[in-house]
Amino acid sequence: MARRPGKNFLFVPGPTNVPERVLRAMMVSQEDHRSPIFPELTKPLYEGLKKVYKSKDGQVFIFPSSGTGGWEAALTNTLAPGDKVLTARFGQFSHLWVDMAQRLGLDVQIQEEEWGTGAHEEKIEEALVADKNHEIKAVMVVHNETATGVTSNIGAIRKAMDAAGHPALLFVDSVSGLGSIDFRFDEWKVDCAVSGSQKGLMLPAGLGFVCVSQKALGLRKNAGLNKVYFDFQDHINTNPSGYFPYTPATNLLHGLRESLACIEEEGLENIFRRHHVLAEATRRAIDAWGLKLCAKSPRWHSDTVSAIVAPEGIDAAKIIRHAYDRYNLALGAGLSKVAGRVFRIGHLGDLNELMLLGAIAGAELSMLDNGVKIKAGSGVGAAQEYLRDNPIEAQAAAPKAA
């Protein structure tokens, strides 16, 4: 294949763009992960991650895995075979977590929701109130469903659980939310929060994170599900001294140290604002095209990914393939029930206004080439107008030219 000049525009909802300084931080010689100085790298990572989770009381575990490994760790270290868990299924990743729980031998009570919506806190409260004998041991919720561009309200779900007076654990998948959308582990009394390295933490895939409450940690002795690689106890035995129970992903740990420094320098609240502004600019572009989001209402809008419904008779997969082949733009594909019906623009991680405008422009070009009836430049123009009035830094907008 001939060389393609310029940079690939990566606008899938993960993996995301990795900052140059993080890439450089990972370019280190291999080292002894049992050396006397290795803890100087590892020990600060746990405190840095706790800040991102907004937790003082939780304990963070780092696994050489994807977020899927974090799912398995959360379930197997706290639950026993046959335990009943409650969850809402409304997208590909909530479906996959259900599948894992069932394959591990859990009794999964599923609330089926329309794709394009999320977890309904009022339905969760009803189910918990009806569970008089407290047979439900955990509630599992996907914070941000990338397949449909939907964010569920974890704070509202915690309030619903409290209103029901139910002791169930709260498990949250925030793989595509943590570090991009506000997450409050302690305030929302989350028990296990799962995430991964390749989204808001701006790293390559390969690290899975779980932040665990003291309540959940206390259940380890009664957790009867089989586990070896993901056993919390092995990490509890080794992590305090700065080591791991097996070979860690050392280069990724160097990258994590630098990505946490990036997050600290920008500030979490500024990061959340930046993601919201860029997401809203994308939504303005979609409105200008006359297209619709998969998310059914603003209640569900995600600030990390927009899943855009292709017009009737248009194959979204062709828009995605053409964008890649012709314009070197990677857009997210539709998954499972929405395959061929939506294409996705991921707007999370290390990006700014001009990067986003490039993605919007590329999406316009591919849609036009595939017969979508939109006006060239309409989405770019709408996004520009919004971005000019809403700088991603929390500061006064520059005066407009006369």
The alpha-carbon radius of gyration of the chain (Å, integer) is 22
Closest CA to 150 of 279, 315, 60, 10: 279
Is 344 annotated in some ligand binding site? Answer: yes
Structure tokens belonging to residue 28: 């280190």
Question: In terms of Cα–Cα distance, which of 137, 127, 180, 170 is closest to 14?
Answer: 180
Amino acid at 204: P
Residue 188, helix vs strand vs coil: coil
What's phi and psi for 150, nearest 5 deg? -125, 135
**Looking at the DSSP assignment, which residues form a beta bridge with residue 59?**
212
Phi, psi of 193 (to 5 degrees): -120, 120
DSSP 19-39: PHHHHHHH------TTSTTHH
365 vs 377: CA distance, rounded Å? 9
330: nearest Cα among 316, 344, 351: 344
How far is 64 from 71, CA to CA, in rounded Å? 13
The Cα–Cα gap between 65 and 60 comes to 14
CA distance 142 to 176: 9
Nearest CA-CA partner of 145 in 345, 302, 346: 302
| 144 in Cβ contact with 346 (< 8 Å) | no
Binding site per annotation, positions for substrate: 344
Binding site per annotation, positions: 344
